[in-house]
Amino acid sequence: MNKQTNAGILGTGWYVPEGRVTNFDLENMVDTSDAWIRTRTGICERRKAAADQPVSDLALRAARMALEDANMAAEAVDLIIVATLTGDQIIPSTACRLQDALGAKHAAAFDLSAACSGFVYASATACQFIETGVYRHVLVIGAETLSKVIDWTDRNTCVLFGDGAGAALYGPVEDGLGVLAFDLGSDGAGGDALAIPAGGSLHPMTEQRLHAGDQFVHMDGKAVFRFAVRILGETVEKSLGRCGMTKEEIDHLVPHQANIRILEAAEKRLRLPREKVVVNIERYGNMSAASIPVALSEAAHAHRFRKGDTIALAGFGAGLTWASCIMKWAKEDIL
């Protein structure tokens, strides 16, 4: 690839809906307890979108914040990529709806499906367009309304997931900064471990499938946990190797917020102290594609990052998929 420029983050934003579902709320819905959920997942509460609030609304709010943070007008955006598994409709894409609502009249737009790895997959895609000079500014959003595809009587899944959106505007940055390396991967043989069985062309929605609850997320929790504990640290190591860096050079790890025990396993493998790991799972739960960009944006706006810091992003999810990247933070921190 003929790399013409470096691509990095110019601004970030996030939005979570006002509705909250606490562990104590769930105690009244399924056979569980606050202590059980906290101990096994690290989650205390999760956000829930209103019944009439589509995922594009969450994405729009996060996108506007990212553009404001970058001091960039929507008209300057060349491409919008929305990573989501809970799009507004099958067609048109949520990205196209967002492009119109945002007023990004010069932007191309498409959705990307890689579940919880989606934001890093979309970031990798954005960087290729920028580095080759095809586009200058690419807006990447991870957004989910998982509450709409969760069976609230299934305690294996309803305790885990929440709604939210995070955004990052990518563009050219100075030499030595920006995204340095990626690792993307998949193992389709494990796809049934985390899936929404019906609603696509393989199993179109029928009355029988509705009664069976096949429109909701189904998960083999043990299989996903085993996969995640192994892959999260492994993918970061691969990205580090591709840019000639070591674990010791990581200043901040922003991982997918799925389960506190998975994050602890990654900390141990990468030999990272907790203060170097961005964690917000206790407040939001697992927000799939929104998980990493919300954590990233919150940390950035809390002034945790300094220009030149080495940041690792890492996710894993349905597919099965995994993704990581290493970047040198390019945005000047203004206190």
CATH of the domain at 157: 3.40.47.10
Amino acid in position 26: L
Of 250, 335, 331, nearest to 13 (Cα)? 331
* Residue 335 resides in a domain: no
Domain-located, residue 333: no
Q: Looking at the structure, do residues 219 and 163 belong to the same domain, yes or no?
A: no
Please tell me whether residues 283 and 256 are part of one structural domain: yes
Q: Is there a cis peptide before residue 92, judged by omega within 30 degrees of 0?
A: yes
312 lies in some domain: yes
What number of other Cβ atoms are within 10 A of residue 214's Cβ?
Answer: 17
Q: Is 155 a member of any domain?
A: yes
Task: Say which DSSP state 333 is in.
Answer: P
Would residue 107 count as lying in a domain? yes
Last residue of a domain, one of 176, 201, 233: 176
222 and 135 in a single domain? The answer is no
* pLDDT score for 335: 61
Backbone φ and ψ of 205, nearest 5°? -70, 130
Among 152, 176, 200, residue at a domain's last position: 176
Q: Measure the CA–CA gap between 156 and 319, rounded to whole angstroms.
A: 19
State both tokens at 175.
């030499």
Cβ burial of 223 (10 Å; 0-12, 13-18, 19+) is middle
Same domain, 21 and 167: yes
3-state secondary structure of 257: coil
- Asked whether residue 170 falls in the same domain as residue 316, the answer is no
Q: Are 280 and 148 contained in the same domain?
A: no
5: its two tokens: 């420029």
For the annotated catalytic residues, the residue numbers are 116, 256, 286
Q: Does 47 share its domain with 153?
A: yes
Distance CA 249, CA 97 (A): 40
Output phi, psi for 7, to 5 deg: -110, 135
Between CA 22 and CA 328 the distance in angstroms is: 36
Residue 112 belongs to domain spanning? 6-176
Euclidean distance between CA atoms 6 and 9, whole angstroms? 10
In a domain, 157, yes or no: yes
Q: Does 319 lie in the same domain as 191?
A: yes
Looking at the fold, whether 131 and 200 belong to one and the same domain comes out as no
Do both 194 and 308 map to the same domain?
Answer: yes
- What is the 8-class DSSP label of residue 150? S
Are 214 and 117 in a shared domain?
Answer: no
Number of continuous H segments (helices) and E segments (strands) in the chain: 11, 13
> Is 187 found in the same domain as 165?
no
Number of domains in the chain: 2
pLDDT reported for residue 332: 80
Query: Could you report the average pLDDT of every consecutive run of 10 residues in the chain (335 residues)?
Result: 87 98 96 94 97 97 98 98 97 97 98 97 98 97 97 94 98 96 96 92 93 91 92 96 96 96 93 95 97 98 96 96 97 74
Q: Which of 137, 155, 176 is the last residue before a domain boundary?
A: 176
Helices 94-102/55-70 angle, 10° precision: 50
